[in-house]
Each structure stands twice: as structure tokens, then as C-alpha cells.
Chains A and B, each alone.
Chain A
Amino acid sequence: MVNVVTSLSRITIMAFVMLFAIVDIVFLFDRKIKEGLQSILLTIQAVMIVLFMINGAVVLYLNTQDFLIILLTAGELLLYLFISIVLNKICIPTSKPLINNVLMLLSFSFITLERLKIASACRQFAFAIISLIIASAVVYFLENFGRVTEYATVYLVIGLLLLLIVSVAGSVQYGAKLSLSFGNISVQPSEFVKITFLFFMGAVIAKYRDVKGFLIASVGAALHVLILVISKDLGTGLIFLVAYVFLIFISYKNYIVLFTELGVAAVGATLAYNMFPHIQTRFIAWSDPLSVIDDQGYQISQSLFAIGTGGWIGSGLCNGMPTKIPVVTKDFIFAAISEEMGAIVGLCLIVIVLCTFFMIFNAAYDLNNSFYMLVINGIGIIFATQALLNIGGVIKFIPSTGVTLPFVSYGGSSLLSMFICIFIIEAAEDFSISIEKENRKREIRTRKKENRTRYEKTRRYE
């Protein structure tokens, strides 16, 4: 009985995810969908998410007989409801399909974590609740903070300080310094520095639209990357680098600068390759993992065993052995999804990630405020780069870099940071308005001042 349900659920889950992805593609190709049709499509997606969650929970419950799974799933669905209610309360959401996509990615995360390690799933659920609260607070703050563009130095200093602290006091994981430990909790500051970094870039470029801005942005970005390289957190360093190069390209539209930067990056990459043995190790593990399977190639080989054996249809939840893969809940969660839900679902997940990226770019598209436009484009670039590095590393497309898959991988810092990013995108329209208000206020103030001086001048003149 359990086997039949598990086996058939592979097909139903595939259908739910596939339908969701197809609607995503429809959204992409027709940005000017009529409101009526859009709400129908959004409802279809929402139904797919619920069905996906329930189907996953039923299979997991039948296999493990753990009632906690039912409770968690109920809680998670309730959380989804809250997320959409809260977003609609605190702002006029820029993109509703984007919210659906985030919820879908979260569903992948919850189901897979419940399957892999129920304790992690519980923690991730708690992280999600905390993230919702903090992200809402951030949105509330930014809505009333029109002078957000004036603190470039502050963003830079906070970012660099956080990275420096990790570099000095961080604990070493897999050859890189990534996190700070406070007793039971460990925090990955680099996840939050992504946001301050984008704020810094946006503020500098929006303020000085000339060479000066370019130089300040370049020096700031170089400092970030440098500290990350010293901490050996090369995956994150690469993400910052990509965000910097593309943001400069978007703002200055200069191909010569673009290619020079890419050239410098290539030289830097070669240097890094020669300097760090642990990069070379990862290249070996990537080029021929089976030859070093007892050693550096173990993880990627296990990942490929999982993906290959799972095949197109997958083994069915609880029927595979994804726990054989080291760090499966974080960096290699895609392999677990591909093994048990099948590569077709894996492909759909890639499509959903790509559509999410497009939706983020589209959200920036209609903005009048150049600061938030740059920040949101930056979020999109970071999101896509991170997904590319993560999934590419899991399927042996590129050497593994040890970055997480946004919203899907286990980890509180990453989840919170991504939540804040998505909330910023959804509320960006409102933020722009608050900046405009602030500017207008100031204009009025200066005009008043001018008027007064003129008035005083005339008085004195008289």
C-alpha cells in the first residue's frame, strides 16, 4: 500500500510541479496579462503548491508514521497564508507571481528537509517565521526611511566589518571561514552583507553618475571580495564579483569596462587557482570524481550516484538514499530532490528558479527610482548566480563552490537574507514613493529657505 502511494505520488508530484512551472512560463511570455486571467493563473499556482505540500506530506507520513510531519505541513501552509497577507498589508506587492515562486521554492525546501532530517525541517520552519517578522520590520523601516541613498559609507563599513569579523573569528567549515558561532546558533554574516553590499553599490552609483561613482564602487567591491578571498569563501566572493561587474555594466553601459573587468576577474581567478590548493582539489573532484572517490571526489560522486540512479522519474520519496551525500541538506539538496522526485521535477525546479530570476528583473523594470532599480537588479543577479553555482556544482556542470540554493537549502541566515531581499522587491514601489516624498520635502525646505533669505535680503535692502 505504502509502496503504491509512494510510487504513484512520483507522477502526481511531477504533474503539480510541472503545471506550476508552465504557468510561470506563461507569466513570463505575457507580462501584460489581464487582471482576471492573472488571478486565475495565480490561483492555479497556489492550488499546485498546496497539492504538492499535501501529497509530499502524505507520502512522508505513510513511510515514517511521524505525526510531526502532518503538524509541520499544516503550520507551513498557514505560514504561506500569513506571508501573502502580511505582504499585502504592508505594501502593494510589485509582483504576485514572484510571491508564488518563493512559496514554491520554500515547499521544495520543507518537503525535502522533512524527508532528510525532521529536526532540520522544524528549525527551518522556525527560521521562516522569524524571517517573516524581521523582513516585515525591515520593510516598515525602509518605507519611512527616505534618505536611504545617503548612507553609502555606513553600508560599506558595516559590510566590511562583518566580513572582517568572520575572517578573524569565524569557524572553519570545509576549508573556508563562513560563519560565527554563538553557542548553539551559528550565523553566516556574508548572507546579510549581500544586502548591505547592494545598498552600497546602489547608493554610490545613484549619487554620483560619473567616474567618481565608478571608482568608489570598484574600490568598495574589491575590498569585499578581497576579505572573502582571505576567508577562503570563494563562492560568495564570486557572487559579489558577478554582482559588481553586471551592476556597473547596467549603470555605465560601457563594454570596454565590462571586458576589462572580466579580464581582470579571469586573471584573478587564475591566481586564486594557483594560490589555493583547495580550489585545485575541487577542480580535480569536478573533472574526474570517480578517480578520487575515496577522497575529494566522494561528495560529487555520491551526488551523481543519487541523480543517476533516481533517473527521470525518481525513486519516490523515502525510496532513495540521499542521506549518503555529505551536506545534503545545504549545498547538495538539489541532488536529493532529483533522486527522489526525479530529474523531470529537477528540470522544472531549474525552470522555476530561472522564472523567479526574470520576475525579479521585471520588478526592477518599471521602477523610476534608480537606487532601488539597481538594488533589485543586484538581488536578481545574486539569486541567479547563486542558483547557478549551486545546481551546477551538484550536477557536475561546474566545480562545486559551496554556496546554497536560495530558499531551498537548509540554513537560517540564507533564508532570512533572501526573505528580506524578496520583501524589498515587493515593497520597492512604496519605497520609491517615500524617497520621492523625502526629496520633495527637502526641495520645499530649501525653497522656503531661499525665499526667506531673499525676503531678508530685500528687507535689509529696504
Chain B
Amino acid sequence: MKKHADTNSSHKKRKVRKEIYLIAFLFVLIFGVMIYSYVDFLNNGSKDFIYNKYNSRFSVFSDEIVRGNILTADGKTIATTGHDDEGNEIRLYPDERLFCHAVGYVGKGMAGLESQYSFDLLRSHSTLEEQINNSLTGTKSQGDSLVTTLDYETQKAAFSGMGLYDGAVIAIEPDTGKVVAMVSKPDYDPNTIDKYWDDMTGEDSTSSVLLNRATSAAYPPGSTFKIVTTIAYLRQHEGNPDYSFNCKGYFDVEDYRIHCSGNKAHGSEDLMAAFSNSCNSAYANIGVNLDRQKYVQTAEDLLMNGELPTKLSNVKSPKFSIDEDTEESIVAQTAIGQGQTSVSPIYMCMLVSAIANDGILMEPYIGDKIVNAENETVTEYKPTEYGRIMSQEETELLNSYMESVVMDGTAKKVDFGDLTVYGKTGTAEYTSDKSLTHSWFVGYAMNESGKKLAVAVIMEGAGYGSKYAAPLASKVFDSYFR
């Protein structure tokens, strides 16, 4: 009898165990996911919070650490911490306006690299011995420095080349994604930003000097958008570039007339001629015959309407929208880069750099590495491949088209020296007044050793792309390859 009771109870216990184990396992599972999310936050998510301007812990950092320097790739200091007449720490920018949008500022707020890498600049990886020494003597430790991918001379060429025009220049190494130059105008002097802060940000202020147009502006792409339309055409014709069109200098869609530049009749053209002449009539004709859904698909495959893959902050997404209800005349205008489409210069530069890199896009970045006060590398940021956004066949065709733009198309009069240049000009209308146009040039250059540089240039209200933007691109190439 007793024996029976015993087996009974042990049987019961074994049965109980299974459910208890299940519950224990469930808790372990949830705790595990929680631990994962905790670790993931510390590794990836925390920077958004640390850099937030509401995080008052920054003030504690700067009590103990001197904010580190920012350097160009060739070792020039472009931001540093110094002292004013009363011995207070101040942030100094030796080149004043030259790097203002790329580097940003620290003052009443933070922007650019100063904001993005603030956490790293306010950390010190100097030797433990020195840290102990510093805390014993009460001196501040030197914060780590940020080495950027920017090239001093190229930046200077882009900056001075803009002259008095507003606009932007961005130059990227196609095979790495390194941003070599980034200029935006109008500009400001980050040394004195606190003094003029209220003028620049006040409610009455109409100036947008703080806006980094290279990444955050939305421009009509004008004829540079014919690159996208060309790819859409190729993708809807199985990659076959056969096309012929007889240009009379204009093209009628419904009751809307699209003119070629200067009303010039280009005559009989194939796709390459239409591209290199930047023939609006031919491209309007291509546009209205495209399958709209697939056209949008192509644009989105080329990263429009989504977040751009880049480590730069505040990047504006390129917008492209047509659908079945869009009027035909609007579709025709969209095909030549007018209409509702908007792009930032960095997007155009990424597009061209993918063409230059056999269709593979590298994510643009500007922070190259963090080094400590002894110039030893603390963190190095490696180039990141986003992936292929166009096929090899497409890039080969586009290369030949973009080369012909420079050899005998719209940019043939521009002197690019010994470099092989592939490009596309653009002249974008931005108001109803058709005489006011932005001047665009997007393209890349290659020297004898095969080194490449992609640029996008926009000069607001300047006029023809070939007259203003392309010569500036030439100066940028020249100083980079020299």
C-alpha cells in the first residue's frame, strides 16, 4: 500500500516537472531576448540618445576632457579647442567658412560632424598612465580626434569655385564611398556662430545658411535625371539600346509643348545621341511610352523614395512619383527631370559613383577614424558596400553615353585636361520663369592609373550646366588628381 503511494507521488512529480520546466524555459527565453535588446542598445542604439541635445551628461564630459580635434585626410586641423583672452575654452575653426557645413559647429547647438562624433571627441583614449596622472594633477585629458575623409585642396577648389553662387558641391571616391569634398553655399563662420545665432535662427530670419545643401536640399534634377530615365528605358527593353527619334526642337504632349534647349532641332538621333545632346524631345517621347509602374520601380531600385544608405546625417531622400492618374504632360516633364521629382546633390553623386564602380554602390562616409592624442587609431571606419544597383551592361552603356556628353555632347567645350571624364549636364527650371535655371553637372573622372572621383555640382540660378557647373567640376577633378 505504502509502496503504491510512493510511486504515485513520484509519478506526479515527474509530471509536474515538465510544466515547470516549460515555464522556466519561457522566462529564460524572454530574459534572453531582453538581454539581447540591452546589448544591442549599447552597441548600436545608444548613440542616438548619447548625442541628443537633451542629454545633460555632455557638460560632465567636457569638465574632464578637452574636446578633440577634427582633421582632414591629409592631416590639416580644421577644428580644435583653444582658449580665449580670459582663458576660457573655445572651439576654433582655422579655416573659418571653408568646412562649415561638413564639420558643423558647437555652440548653442551642434551640427555636422561635431554633432555626429561629439561622443567620440569627448572621450579620451590616452594611456592609462596619463589618465591617472591627469586625475592626480587635475588637468584635463586630451579627447580623441576625428580624421575625416575630406581632402583639403579639393575642398578648397570646390569652395572657391562656387564664387558668389548659392548651391553645393559633393565629391565621392566611387570605390570606397569616401566623401572627399562637401561644400554648401551660402555659408557661415562657425567661429562666430554664437554671436549671430539669433539672426540666423530667429523667426524673422529667411536665410538658410545653416542648411547643408549638399545633403539636405531638395532640387529639381533637370537633365541629370535622364540617367534614370535611360536606365528605365533599358530595363523595359531587355537592355536593348536601339532607339531612334527625329527631333524637331520640340515635342507635343497633349496640349503641352516640350522644347529642346534653345529650341534646337537635333534631327535624327539614337539613344546615345539623345543622351549626349540632352535632347528633351526624345526623352519626353521615351517617357510617355514607358510603363509607369515599372518606371517608378526602376527609380526605387535606384534608391529613390527611400532612406539613402549613408553614414552622413540629415540626408534628404530623393522623391519620385508618377502613377496611372498622372497627366501625360507631367510624365513627359518628369522624364526630363522637371515635374515633381526632387533630389539632393549627394544622391546624384551616389548614382554616378555607382556607375563609376561597375554598378556597385559604396555607402558614403566622412568620418574615417578616431585617433587618440598619441595618434594611435582607436576606431577605424571601413568602407561599406551597399550592393549592386545596376547591371554591368547598363553601366557600360551609360559610361559610353556619359563619355560622349563630354567628347561631343553638351559638355564638349569644357576643358577637363588629361582626365577621362564621364558626365551629364543639367539645366533645371525651378520656377515658372523659364529663364531662371539651376546649373547641374554630375559625373566622374578617371586618371591614367584608373583612380576615379565622382562629383555632383549644383549652382543655383546660374544658367546652363555646361557653362557653370561643368567647369567647376573640372576644377575639383584637377585639384584632386594633381
Contacts and interface: CB of A to CB of B under 8 A. Distances in A.
B133 to A, nearest CB: 10
B236 interface: no
B46 interface: yes
Contacts of B24: 357-358, 361
Interface SS of chain B: helix
Interface stretch (B35-43, B290-298, B426-434): B35-43
A455 to B, nearest CB: 25
Nearest to B61: A309
B46 A307 contact: yes
A308 B46 contact: yes
A368 B13 CA distance: 9
B56 to A, nearest CB: 6
Contact of B20 (A305, A309, A377, A388): A377
B49 A290 contact: yes
A414 B20 CA distance: 26
Contacts of B54: 293, 301, 305
B326 interface: no
Interface stretch (A41-49, A51-59, A246-254, A427-435): A246-254
A347 B23 contact: no
A305 B24 CA distance: 32
Nearest to A308: B46
B404 to A, nearest CB: 49
A250 B16 contact: yes
B19 A253 contact: yes
Chain B CB count within 10 A is highest, among A309, A319, A373, for A309
Interface in B109-163: 131-132, 135-136
Interface stretch (B25-33, B278-286, B329-337, B383-391): B25-33
Interface in A378-394: 381, 384, 388, 391-392
B57 A305 contact: yes
B19 A308 contact: no
A149 interface: no
Interface string A384-415: 10001001100111000000000000000000
A312 interface: yes
Range of interface residues on chain A? 35 or more
B375 to A, nearest CB: 24
B57 A343 contact: no
B338 to A, nearest CB: 35
A346 interface: yes
A304 B24 CA distance: 29
A311 interface: yes
Nearest to B36: A397
Contact of B57 (A320, A361, A397): A320
B90 interface: no
Contact of B41 (A246, A250, A307, A368): A307
A118 interface: no
B41 A321 contact: no
B60 interface: yes
Contacts of B48: 290
Contacts of B22: 249
Interface string A234-256: 00000000000010011001000
Given A1-B136, A395-B37, A308 B47 contact: yes
Nearest to B54: A293
Contacts of B27: 354, 357, 384, 388
Given A293-B54, A308-B47, A354 B135 contact: no
A186 B56 CA distance: 33
A62 B13 CA distance: 54
A417 to B, nearest CB: 20
A395 B41 contact: yes
B38 A346 contact: yes
A4 interface: yes
Contacts of B38: 343, 346-347, 350, 395, 397
A418 B28 CA distance: 21
Nearest to A300: B49
A308 B41 contact: yes
A1 B38 CA distance: 33
Contacts of B15: 253
B31 A305 contact: no
A366 B23 CA distance: 17
Contacts of B131: 7
Pick the 7 closest A-B CB pairs, nearest first.
A308-B46, A3-B135, A305-B55, A304-B49, A308-B49, A309-B57, A308-B50
22 contacts: A1-B136, A249-B22, A250-B19, A250-B23, A253-B15, A253-B18, A301-B54, A305-B56, A305-B57, A308-B47, A309-B55, A311-B46, A312-B42, A315-B60, A350-B34, A350-B35, A357-B24, A381-B23, A392-B34, A396-B41, A397-B33, A397-B38
Given A290-B48, A307-B42, A354-B31, 17 more contacts: A250-B20, A250-B23, A304-B41, A305-B49, A305-B55, A307-B41, A308-B41, A308-B45, A308-B46, A319-B60, A347-B38, A350-B35, A357-B24, A377-B20, A384-B31, A388-B27, A396-B41
